[in-house]
Amino acid sequence: MTLPVFKKHDPPAVLAPMAGISDAVFRRICVEHGCDFTYTEMVSAKGLFYGGRKTRALIRVSEAEKPCAVQLFGSDPGIISEMIKALADEYAGEIAMIDINMGCPMPKITGNGEGSALMRDIPRAAAVAEAAVKASPLPVSCKFRKGWDDNSVNAVEFARAMEESGVSLLTVHGRTREQLYHGPADWDIIGEVVSRVGVPVLGNGDVFSGEAAKKLISHTGCAGVMVARGAEGNPFIFEEIRAALDGRPYSPPTEYERMTEAIRHTEEFLEEKGPRLFPEMRKHLSWYTKGMRGSLDFRRAVNTVRSPEEMLELLRSFRDQLVCGEAGEKTL
């Protein structure tokens, strides 16, 4: 890996920017479990330009992750340029890279010609990238997909255009926009991009275990892996990935340890964001408890709690039930 921002391990395992999921609290927890680098949630350049408070709040960097990357999305080169200059100045020392999102598949993003819609307009995408590189004193990276759909797989062409625009790092998600997050990721296309460009490439898609990360790197020759859904409810995956890449054995957390982390995550979320936003933790708790005994009943219950105190009480009670269940099994 040639970029100095990835200074912990080579190859690195990084946390993907996920809107509404990878906030500063979750990113900090992932770093503590071995994540090498983080990105803010996807931030609207236009929202920053017009002074949106909610947009600005997304750029909150914890001490544990400094410096990280800010991921911007937008299709206006002028606005992208101006916002990058402002961010680099305001967050000097806190951010190490600017990432441009050209892969988000959501209709509210693509409908404005942003995100993965830029893969259908390479000249526009190149103009955005060139403006970003020219404006930024920091390295600029770009995240994109296999293509728009199976009839327009253009990841290699797109990657070469980004490299020619001065982008220092590419991240390829091995699915088309049409696929959203369904079906298997195409690792072959990631390998094709790696072989056709001279800048580092991160592989993204279907990294749900340490072994998968190892196989992705071996299969594609990518410089590192980006983990998205594999980290949901499982920040421990970064420890697992590092063990796999280092050839060390790995012992997964017990259900008690997973629930203890879920409780800690909830407590830190409430401390940072305030009790009013406690419903946002429901999705995380659903992921933490996936596959556990009684998790279906737990998820039903957590979706009905009306206060953060009830949520924490339910979490602790569920953890205690798991411990009692484990004790009972050992006496059989």
CB 74 within 8 Å of CB 44: yes
Beta-bridge partners for 143: 101, 171
Tell me what pLDDT residue 52 has: 79
Tell me what pLDDT residue 213 has: 98
Q: pLDDT digit string (tens) for 51-99?
A: 878 888 899 899 999 999 999 999 999 999 999 999 999 999 999 999 9
Asked if residue 304 has pLDDT above 50, the reply is: yes
Q: Give the mean pLDDT of 6-25.
A: 90
235: its two tokens: 């920040």
Q: pLDDT digit string (tens) for 177-213?
A: 999 999 999 999 999 999 999 999 999 999 999 999 9
SS3 sequence of 264-287:
HHHHHHHHHHCHHHHHHHHHHHHH
Q: pLDDT digit string (tens) for 285-302?
A: 999 999 999 999 999 999
| Percentage of the chain modeled with pLDDT above 90 | 90
- Cα–Cα separations (whole angstroms), residue 62 to 15, 66, 85, 309, 326: 14, 7, 21, 25, 36
Tell me what pLDDT residue 328 has: 40
Which domains, ranges and CATH numbers included, belong to the chain?
Answer: 13-246 (3.20.20.70), 255-331 (1.10.1200)
Helix (H) / strand (E) element for 99: namely strand 95-102
Cα radius of gyration (the chain)? 20
Is the omega angle on the peptide bond into residue 67 within 30 degrees of 0, that is, cis? yes
Q: CA-CA distance, 208 to 26, in Å (whole number)?
A: 17
Q: CA-CA distance, 40 to 17, in Å (whole number)?
A: 6
Tell me what pLDDT residue 7 has: 66
Give every CB contact of residue 54 below 8 A, 6+ residues apart in sequence.
Answer: 47
pLDDT band for position 331 (50/70/90)?
A: very low
Q: pLDDT digit string (tens) for 133-157?
A: 999 999 999 999 999 999 999 999 9
Tell me what pLDDT residue 326 has: 54
Taking alpha carbons only, the member of 280, 105, 118 closest to residue 182 is: 105
Q: CA-CA distance, 71 to 69, in Å (whole number)?
A: 6
Tell me what pLDDT residue 81 has: 97
Asked if residue 122 has pLDDT above 70, the reply is: yes
Tell me what pLDDT residue 329 has: 47
Taking alpha carbons only, the member of 246, 266, 280 closest to residue 314 is: 266
Asked if residue 109 has pLDDT above 90, the reply is: yes
Say which residue the tokens 């590192």 belong to: 224
In terms of C-beta density within 10 A (0-12 exposed, 13-18 middle, 19 or more buried), how is residue 327 classed?
Answer: exposed
Q: Give the mean pLDDT of 212-237.
A: 98
Asked if residue 332 has pLDDT above 70, the reply is: no
Tell me what pLDDT residue 313 has: 97
Say which residue the tokens 């190892």 belong to: 214
Phi-psi region of 102 (alpha: psi -120 to 50; beta: other; left: phi over 0): alpha
Helix (H) / strand (E) element for 90: namely helix 77-90
CB 177 within 8 Å of CB 213: no
- Cα–Cα separations (whole angstroms), residue 207 to 90, 159, 174: 34, 21, 11
Asked if residue 330 has pLDDT above 80, the reply is: no
104 is catalytic: yes
Taking alpha carbons only, the member of 172, 211, 170 closest to residue 188 is: 172
Q: At what angle do helices 24-32 and 255-273 cross, to 10 degrees?
A: 140
* pTM to 2 decimal places: 0.94
| Percentage of the chain modeled with pLDDT above 70 | 95
Q: Which among 30, 35, 68, 104 is annotated as catalytic?
A: 104
Q: Give the mean pLDDT of 256-262.
A: 96
